Amino acid sequence: MARKSKYDVVVIGSGPGGLAAAISAKKNGAEDVLIIERDLELGGILQQCIHNGFGLEVLKKDLPGPAYAQLYINEALALGVETLLDTMVLDVSPRRRIYATNKRDGVLDLEAHAIVLAMGCRERTRAQVRLPGTRPAGVYTAGTAQRWVNVEGYMPGKRFVILGSGDIGMIMARRLTFEGAKVERVLEVMPFLTGLMRNYVQCLMDYDIPLQLRHTVKRILGKDRVEAVESVQVDEHWNPIAGTEEIIPCDTLLLSVGLIPENELSRKAGVSLDPITGGPFVNNEFQTSVPGIFSAGNVVHVYDLVDWVTEAGLLAGKSAAAFAQRERESEIRHLPLLPGENVRYVIPHRVDKESLATGDVRLQMRVKQPIEAPVWVEVRSGEKLITRKGEPYVRPGEMVTLVLPSKVYDEVRQARELSLAVVGR
Amino acid sequence: MNDPYDVIIIGAGVVGCMVARALSRYQLRILLFEKEADIGMGASSANTAIVHAGYDPLPGTLKARMNVAANPMWDNLSGELNFPFERRGDYVVAIGPFELLKLDRLLDQGRRNGVPGMHLITGEEMRHREPNINPAVSGALWAPTGGLCDPFMVTVATAENAVQNGVQVLTSTAFMDFILDDHARIIGVKTTRGDFPCRWAVNAAGLYSDDVMHRAGVRPEFSITPRRGEYMVLDKAEITINNVLFPVPSEVSKGILVTASLHGNPLCGPTANDIPDKDDRATTSEGLEEIRQGALKMIPSLNLRHLIAMFSGLRANGNAPCETPGVEYNHDFIIEIPASPRGLVNLGGIESPGLTASPAIAQRVVELLKDAGEPLREKPGWDPIRPPRPRFCHLSREEQALLIARDPRYARVICRCELVTEGEIVAEINAPIPARTYDAIKRRTWLGTGRCLGGFDMPRVVEILAREQGISPLEVTKKGEGSGFLVRKTKLVEG
Ligand SMILES: Cc1cc2nc3c(=O)[nH]c(=O)nc-3n(C[C@H](O)[C@H](O)[C@H](O)COP(=O)(O)OP(=O)(O)OC[C@H]3O[C@@H](n4cnc5c(N)ncnc54)[C@H](O)[C@@H]3O)c2cc1C
Ligand SMILES: Cc1cc2nc3c(=O)[nH]c(=O)nc-3n(C[C@H](O)[C@H](O)[C@H](O)COP(=O)(O)OP(=O)(O)OC[C@H]3O[C@@H](n4cnc5c(N)ncnc54)[C@H](O)[C@@H]3O)c2cc1C
């Protein structure tokens, strides 16, 4: 439940990247940290990765995905990180306003001193690998199938062909075999494996699932449901080799053909994206091209191991906390100058209090209405008069200049905002 | 047998639905039925979506007459039925010196057909109007009355309005045969869901209109050869095409067009290949290559790697001769009441510009029935307005907040790419023509058509479809019987 309208750090996405960022922001001095997650629970994609192999590098533990996530969920909640679940962020502005919706609160409009983008990635689809043929049921991305099997408890088919030797595909090949399905084979267009060798050994070899390198699907057959796929071998330029076509009967084609960072929101926030990674350009603190907007995890580039996602999140969270702190301090240090009675505008809009310690600050303004009689031009902090200057008359066409003298430094230090007014003498 | 219907319409594509709506104005008992699990799954949902100005068809043909008569009806229709429509105008673009000559012929043809406002523009002017265009453009024909619609929503909105006005709609019901009395008069139709008696039957079966008329013994020489058109849809974010750009047409087709759909995606296609199988809506590598070349000729900077969908549609390419004396043309529309058997309204070969022409075809059907002596009495209280359902992504933030306050289901986003909410999905499931399948929801809300192609929303939509219809997720289908998503629960061994 969002309790405030402004947070120090808002993290979008609660996968391992987002969780680590929230934890580290909190530990590094962020006052209030909020995670916004569109799913019903925290943990991101890990919640559907019920196989083990998470945490080997950094934690030196071999955990299933949900257990790995739980460690960080517990830590985040213990530190007092706030969460908004089942909530979709729809828009982020370069000025760090966040627009989100959920069933309970309706529309949420929040501000943040710093934002960490941790939206993860999405899977490449049939169109992106340009798979011709019919459009029946039974063509799914491996991640969608993983969600069905591991989270919802349904089998999306009986006889599978898997296109792509990515990790999710290989892990699903084993998972589906456990569930009594037949995985006919895994086809890979490249001359090499695209996922981890350990997954090839543990998920395919151990279960006698054939892998064919330099092979792809030429077309999909079947009107209502997939009935078969036609595979074909390719040459070194990825051109199909005539005569090597083979019809493989199956009812499901799983696609494990790569992941793309999920950057719809980043685009909206004006973050520049690297055409190669598909994620934001970042510096060594994981700050994007927009100041105060950081990013961590698969949203930046696709990781193979969760450990490095967590590390990236920790760093991004720390950087975000530091940025937020500077923003907060700067907000306290910089006084807004507000136009009051008969003042159209004042320049500068803000004054750095500390600059008064070393010298005067000149203010310039224009009035709204002419007054052809002597007036005071006053600067006040609330009711309290800080300084004033007499003018014989004021006219909109003639700029008025006023000096905020160095000697008012002590009074100004206590102030939260200053207002200017032009009043009759 | 039940009480007879006055009119039974076979096939719920845009033509069948327009006829149903036009007739719903009168005091008639009407049934519209469709073999697929949803209406509009044939040509009406897989085409270029252009409301043609009318310069393409040969002067004197029924195609030309219907096109030009229908074009001005679309503003009013979209206002009444609340479907997306934009009169953007369209261009036929000549690249290089030779193609320029063909524009004159098209302009002349358009003028003879009575198309208003057309004129030629220079290559320079075209480059100005469409900065992405091939710099070798030599000129273009500008037709300001061309328009763009969402053809599937046109079909749905039209059918819903017909239902509001008393028409009954049955899906998953296939026509098998006519029932004739001893005087060669149609008295009913046989379907896969039983026999339905009627006084009039309308053949609006699109690709299968030849088979249907042959069942009645009409025009045995008429046959339809499916002509497949394949398309590519590109990612919205990658390039902005502001206009509808046709190349100069060839003998068989209008060529590979490039435009942005009303949903904002660049759309390229269609190809034109005759195929033997009326069910074969596959896309092919050859087709995609042809589109690629055509599209790059128009817009060289188009990056076809940003592909988000491929689909194809089948044109009901018939062989009916034009009936106007002196006009040599063998692919005209059929819109007639044959002398025998009585009781048949026969529509056939309604290929492009059939979508554009559909409201005029419906009007023509009304006239033919009047001419045949049918006393069409207007129905008091006929309501031409189909109320729209809210689309979350088209609302302002204030409107979004109000909608959510009324129904919090509009706050739950199911499709992140196209921003479709649970509220919208549930509304479609409970609409006058209920969406019962994943594709039915997809076509109505545009969910699952963005970059992730449903990877994220699919499990959620299956769950909502199951919950709202009180069925198991195992019974939810993509597009009707035989297209289930899921086969069994996990942890059950195959029995
Ligand atoms: C299907 C799949 C299986 C994988 N299996 C393994 C594996 O076996 N072993 C391994 O080491 N790595 C695996 N990975 C790699 C894995 O992606 C990373 O290890 C890690 O989970 C990435 O973490 P993340 O925090 O960057 O993203 P994610 O875990 O994907 O989290 C992103 C979160 O952001 C949320 N979100 C996105 N957009 C919004 C929005 N607009 N509003 C609110 N919330 C939003 C999402 O709901 C999600 O919860 C797998 C990846 C995928 C996609
Ligand atoms: C590639 C392509 C591009 C096109 N571009 C345009 C364009 O830009 N502008 C334009 O104006 N036109 C265009 N057209 C033409 C336009 O799409 C069609 O003319 C129009 O959709 C025809 O509508 P219909 O209702 O006759 O056919 P359909 O939409 O095919 O409807 C016929 C219906 O009858 C049903 N049916 C068939 N047999 C039976 C049976 N036995 N029992 C029950 N139901 C049955 C079918 O399932 C189907 O739903 C294009 C067509 C194609 C294929």
Are A28 and A322 a contacting pair, CB within 8 Å?
yes
Catalytic residue among B52, B119, B214, B263: B52
Are A299 and A278 a contacting pair, CB within 8 Å?
no
Question: Do residues A163 and A270 both lie within one domain?
Answer: no
Q: What is the pLDDT of residue B263?
A: 85
- What's the rounded mean pLDDT across residues A92-108? 93
Question: Do residues A345 and A292 both lie within one domain?
Answer: no
Question: Do residues B138 and B252 both lie within one domain?
Answer: yes
Q: Is residue B378 part of a domain?
A: no
Question: Do residues B359 and B462 both lie within one domain?
Answer: no
Question: Do residues B450 and B475 both lie within one domain?
Answer: yes
Q: What is the pLDDT of residue B395?
A: 93
Q: Using CB atoms within 10 A of its CB, is residue A410 exposed (0-12), middle (13-18) or buried (19+)?
A: exposed
Q: What is the pLDDT of residue A66?
A: 97
| Buried b or exposed e, range B249-268, using 16+ CB within 10 angstroms | eeeebbbbbbbbbbeebbbb
Q: What pairing do the DSSP bridges indicate for beta strands A88-92 and A97-102? A: antiparallel
Q: Is residue B422 part of a domain?
A: yes
Biggest alpha carbon–alpha carbon distance for chain B: 72
Q: What is the pLDDT of residue B453?
A: 63
Ligand 1 is surrounded, with C-beta below 6 A, by A 12-18, 36-39, 44-46, 49, 51, 53-54, 88-89, 118-121, 143, 146, 167-168, 171, 259, 262, 265, 297-299, 303, 305-306, 309
Q: How close is the Cα of B248 to the center of ligand 2, in Å?
A: 24
DSSP string, B198-258: EEEEEE--GGGHHHHHHHTT--TT---EEEEEEEEEE-TTT----S-EEE---SS----EE
Peptide bond into B220 cis (omega under 30): no
Question: Do residues A74 and A140 both lie within one domain?
Answer: no
CA B238 and chain centroid, separation:
26
CA nearest A424: which of A371, A380, A386, A384? A371
Question: Do residues A227 and A168 both lie within one domain?
Answer: yes
CA nearest B181: which of B34, B341, B302? B341
Domain boundary among A227, A257, A287: A257
User: Cβ A127–B490 below 8 Å, yes or no?
Assistant: no
Question: Do residues A43 and A147 both lie within one domain?
Answer: no
Q: Is residue A1 part of a domain?
A: no
Q: What is the pLDDT of residue B125?
A: 97
Q: Is residue A65 part of a domain?
A: yes
Nearest CA-CA distance, residue B428 and chain A, Å: 19
Are A346 and A339 a contacting pair, CB within 8 Å?
yes
Please, what is the angle between helix A306-333 and helix A16-27, to 10°? 40
| Edge-to-edge strand list for the sheet holding B147-149 | B50-51, B147-149, B85-86
Question: Do residues A140 and A248 both lie within one domain?
Answer: yes
Question: Do residues B396 and B474 both lie within one domain?
Answer: yes
Residues of chain A found within 8 Å of residue B490, distances taken between Cβ atoms: 149, 153-155, 179
Residue B183 tokens read as: 């005087």
On the question of pLDDT at A1 being above 60, the answer is no
3-class DSSP state of A167: helix
Question: Do residues A61 and A26 both lie within one domain?
Answer: yes
Q: Is residue B56 part of a domain?
A: no
Q: Using CB atoms within 10 A of its CB, is residue A212 exposed (0-12), middle (13-18) or buried (19+)?
A: middle
Place of tokens 């009326």: B278
Question: Do residues A302 and A153 both lie within one domain?
Answer: no
Residues of chain A found within 8 Å of residue B453, distances taken between Cβ atoms: 125-127
Question: Do residues B219 and B229 both lie within one domain?
Answer: no
**pLDDT mean across residues, chain A:** 94
On the question of pLDDT at B365 being above 70, the answer is yes
A416 — pLDDT class (breaks 50, 70, 90) = confident
**Residue of chain A whose Cα is closest to the Cα of B463:** A152
Q: Whose CA is nearest to atom 1 of ligand 1?
A: A143
Helix (H) or strand (E) holding A21: helix A16-27
Q: What pairing do the DSSP bridges indicate for beta strands A252-255 and A88-92? A: unpaired
Question: Do residues B28 and B156 both lie within one domain?
Answer: yes
Q: What is the pLDDT of residue B239?
A: 74
- What's the rounded mean pLDDT across residues B283-302? 93
On the question of pLDDT at B456 being above 90, the answer is no
- What's the rounded mean pLDDT across residues B381-387? 97
Question: Do residues A346 and A307 both lie within one domain?
Answer: no
For residues A3 and B445, what is the distance between their CA atoms, to the nearest angstrom?
34
User: Cβ B412–A102 below 8 Å, yes or no?
Assistant: yes
**Which range marks the domain in which residue A196 is found?**
125-257
Q: How close is the Cα of A262 to the center of ligand 1, in Å?
A: 10
On the question of pLDDT at A237 being above 80, the answer is yes
Q: From residue B347, give the alpha-carbon distance in Å to each of B338, B444, B455, B490.
A: 10, 27, 40, 50
Please, what is the angle between helix B422-429 and helix B458-469, to 10°? 40
On the question of pLDDT at B1 being above 60, the answer is no
Minimum-distance ligand to the CA of B14? 2
**pLDDT mean across residues, chain B:** 94
Question: Do residues B160 and B304 both lie within one domain?
Answer: no
Question: Do residues B178 and B94 both lie within one domain?
Answer: no
Counting the structural domains of chain A, the total is 3
Dihedrals phi, psi of B484, to nearest 5 degrees? -65, 155
Question: Do residues B126 and B236 both lie within one domain?
Answer: yes
Q: Which atom of ligand 2 is nearest to the CA of B312?
A: 1
User: pLDDT tens for residues B60-78?
Assistant: 999 999 999 999 999 999 9
Place of tokens 């689809």: A125
CA-angle at B442, arms to B240 and A38, nearest 5°: 85
A341 — pLDDT class (breaks 50, 70, 90) = very high
Q: From residue B395, give the alpha-carbon distance in Å to each of A4, A87, A110, B154, B450.
A: 26, 19, 20, 21, 19
Amino acid at position A169, single letter:
G
Helix then strand then coil, % of chain A, to nearest 5: 25, 35, 40
Q: Is residue B419 part of a domain?
A: yes
Question: Do residues B233 and B351 both lie within one domain?
Answer: no
B29: CATH: 3.50.50.60
Chosen for mutation from B265, B306, B486 (greatest number of chain A CBs closer than 10 Å) is B486
For residues B383 and A207, what is the distance between their CA atoms, to the nearest angstrom?
64
Nearest CA-CA distance, residue A258 and chain B, Å: 12
Identify the residue with better confidence: A125 or A135.
Answer: A135
A408: CATH: 2.60.40
B449 — pLDDT class (breaks 50, 70, 90) = confident
CA nearest A417: which of A393, A376, A386? A386
Q: Is residue B237 part of a domain?
A: yes
Question: Do residues A16 and A99 both lie within one domain?
Answer: yes
Q: Is residue A297 part of a domain?
A: yes
Q: Is residue B65 part of a domain?
A: no
Peptide bond into A156 cis (omega under 30): no
**Which range marks the domain in which residue B279 is found?**
87-147+225-314
Q: From residue B469, give the alpha-carbon distance in Å to each of A271, B34, B145, B437.
A: 43, 21, 43, 10
Q: What is the pLDDT of residue B493?
A: 60
- Taking phi over 0 as left and psi of -120 to 50 as alpha, with beta for the rest, A171 belongs to alpha
CB of residue B41 inside a 6 A radius of ligand 2 = yes
Q: Does A175 touch chain B (CB under 8 A)?
A: no
Question: Do residues A183 and A270 both lie within one domain?
Answer: no
Q: Whose CA is nearest to atom 16 of ligand 1?
A: A306
Peptide bond into B341 cis (omega under 30): yes
For residues A283 and A5, what is the distance between their CA atoms, to the nearest angstrom?
29
Question: Do residues A103 and A160 both lie within one domain?
Answer: no
- What's the rounded mean pLDDT across residues B341-357? 97
Nearest CA-CA distance, residue B240 and chain A, Å: 16
CA B240 and chain centroid, separation:
24
Q: Using CB atoms within 10 A of its CB, is residue A64 exposed (0-12), middle (13-18) or buried (19+)?
A: middle
Q: Is residue B291 part of a domain?
A: yes
Question: Do residues B218 and B241 both lie within one domain?
Answer: no
Enter the DSSP assignment of A273: B
User: pLDDT tens for residues B111-167?
Assistant: 999 999 999 999 999 999 999 999 999 999 999 999 999 999 999 999 999 999 999
On the question of pLDDT at B494 being above 90, the answer is no
Q: What is the pLDDT of residue B495?
A: 43
Q: From residue A111, give the alpha-carbon distance in Å to each of A4, A79, A100, B120, B483.
A: 9, 21, 11, 53, 46
User: pLDDT tens for residues A156-202?
Assistant: 999 999 999 999 999 999 999 999 999 999 999 999 999 999 999 99
Range list of β-strands (E), A179-313: 182-188, 211-213, 215-221, 228-233, 246-249, 252-255, 259-261, 293-295
On the question of pLDDT at A15 being above 80, the answer is yes
Residues of chain A found within 8 Å of residue B454, distances taken between Cβ atoms: 144
Q: Is residue A369 part of a domain?
A: yes
Question: Do residues B237 and B137 both lie within one domain?
Answer: yes
Reply yes or no on whether B128 is catalytic. Answer: no
Q: Does B58 touch chain A (CB under 8 A)?
A: no
On the question of pLDDT at B238 being above 80, the answer is no
Amino acid at position B115, single letter:
V
